[in-house]
Amino acid sequence: MSPGFSLVAASEAIARAKAPLVKALSLRAAGLVGVVKSDRIDGAVRRMELWQGIGADVADGDTVRVIAGCNKSATTCRTKFGNFPNFRGFPHIPGEDWLASYPVSDRANTGAARTRAGG
């Protein structure tokens, strides 16, 4: 499959496929998988570019499956795929913005621990 090709895809597949994979289903490329670098919709045709070729060319009439990708966020796992029980990330670890946090004046800012050890 060359790094760039065009295909006609159903609108639902287009809506669900963020960071997708492409798996060839027919002929010489059957079973081979490529990672999509970019894609865009051009009228009724979806144009995809792969990061690298997958070892066989796609010809007219070949069948490929566009597999919806994952951005590794808990929200996407829950809302897009309904698969939060199998999410293996850490959704409650603070992001890098915690470095910019500061004390709040309406609470005691003693610097002590929030709970006492042993009690």
The overall pTM is greater than 0.85 = no
DSSP 20-66: -EEEE-SGGGTT-EEEEEEEEEETTEEEEEESS--SS---TT--EEE
- pLDDT by residue (tens digit) across 82-106? 888 988 888 777 777 767 777 677 7
Q: What residue segments make up the domains of the chain, in order of their start?
A: 4-69, 71-104
- pLDDT by residue (tens digit) across 51-62? 887 777 777 777
* Under 8 Å between Cβ of 84 and 51: no
- Give me the mean pLDDT over the 35-58 stretch: 79
